[in-house]
Structure 1
Amino acid sequence: MPKFRRTDRINEQLKQEISLLIRDQVRDPRVGLATITAVQTSPELDHAKVYITALGDEAEREEILVGLRSAAPFIRRELGKSLQMRRIPELHFEIDRVLAEAMRIEQLLREALPYDASASTEAGDDADGAVEKPAEEQPAAGDQAEGEGQE
């Protein structure tokens, strides 16, 4: 299992180094505010998929992707200077669609939720689905039942 740990370490190190390079050294105006969300290297460490996310619409994200792909040779060369690796993987930039899918699913759940929330509110349930006891049924913290603790 050490191979997986090594790959995970390399992925994390590449993610950090590429993020720094994009922030500090890439001067392409198309890149803008790209955020590296993950790096996934091949088992042979010769290729690395670099997943990014960025603000803006689809056209703006594609423009950022084009800028990063054109900066890939520069980024790879700089990684070679800063990392102690025999071979720096080829970088393949891709838009991370996980966040967009999660937001889409959340929106679908929100659309379905108003029906469910109104049904549970009518039944007297709270947000967790647990029914609260009326205040008079709940004993106060310092109250003791008659006969308890008296000898």
Structure 2
Amino acid sequence: MADPARARKLAVRIRQIVSAAIETQIKDPRLGMVTVTDARVTGDLREATVFYTVYGDETQIADSAAALASATGVLRSTVGRQTGIKFVPTLAFVADIVPDTARELEEALERARHADAELARAREGAQYAGDADPYRKPAEDDDEDDDDTVPSGTANDGAEDRAATRSVP
């Protein structure tokens, strides 16, 4: 198991080398506007996963994935030459879904802003259905010794009054 700091440094170096090699060495016409977003190396430094995004539609994404798969050997040998490590990690290319997720989140936030604006428009000029303060307030009696009775103005059948008089010890 290699040092995690060494794995991170190697991942950063692989990301730089692969992005530069895609720009300068790979001449595949299927390769679109590819941006290498991240690289991760396993703890034993044997495998590297390179994350990328492609600007374009689904066919350009699929074509770029095929071009990167066919150029894996060239890119791996370039990484080996430029890093100088004994065992060059195998490269696996994975399409990065972070931009898609960010776009979906932005759309969800926009829908929430729109719903808030509609609610604010509906709230304009509205009045409370009852009192401004809908919570009940305890009745303030002048008599402190009559605590067991039901406050005036509440509907009951008298059973509560009978129960209150019986439960007093």
Same fold by TM (over 0.5)? yes
Structure-2 residue corresponding to 1:141: none
**Separation (CA, whole Å) in 1 of partners of 2:115 and 2:3:** 49
Structure-1 residue corresponding to 2:11: 11
**Separation (CA, whole Å) in 2 of partners of 1:12 and 1:116:** 43
Structure-1 residue corresponding to 2:52: 52
What's the TM-score once normalised by structure 2's chain length? 0.67
Considering only CA atoms, is the larger Rg found in Structure 1 or Structure 2? Answer: 2
**Separation (CA, whole Å) in 2 of partners of 1:85 and 1:105:** 41
Q: How far 1:61 moved relative to its partner?
A: 0.5
1:53-132 correspondence to structure 2 within 5 Å: 53-119=53-119
Q: How far 1:33 moved relative to its partner?
A: 1.5
Question: What whole-Å deviation, never above 9, does each CA across 1:108-137 have from its counterpart, x for those lacking one?
Answer: 1211211224556878xxxxxxxxxxxxxx
Structure-2 residue corresponding to 1:128: none
What's the TM-score once normalised by structure 1's chain length? 0.74
Question: What whole-Å deviation, never above 9, does each CA across 1:29-49 have from its counterpart, x for those lacking one?
Answer: 111221100001111111111
Q: How far 1:102 moved relative to its partner?
A: 1.4
Aligned-residue CA RMSD (Å): 1.8
For the 8 Å contact 2:51–2:93, the answer to whether it is kept is: yes
For the 8 Å contact 2:17–2:78, the answer to whether it is kept is: no
Query: Please, which runs of 5 or more residues in structure 1 have no aligned partner?
Result: 124-151
**Separation (CA, whole Å) in 2 of partners of 1:95 and 1:15:** 14
Query: Please, which runs of 5 or more residues in structure 2 have no aligned partner?
Result: 125-169
1:128-143 correspondence to structure 2 within 5 Å: none
Q: How many residues align?
A: 122
**Separation (CA, whole Å) in 1 of partners of 2:24 and 2:101:** 30
**Separation (CA, whole Å) in 1 of partners of 2:56 and 2:25:** 22
Q: How far 1:91 moved relative to its partner?
A: 0.6
Local SS of the residue matching 1:80:
helix
**Separation (CA, whole Å) in 2 of partners of 1:45 and 1:58:** 32
Question: What percentage of residue pairs aligned between the two structures are identical?
Answer: 28
Question: What whole-Å deviation, never above 9, does each CA across 1:63-99 have from its counterpart, x for those lacking one?
Answer: 1011001000011111111112111111111100111
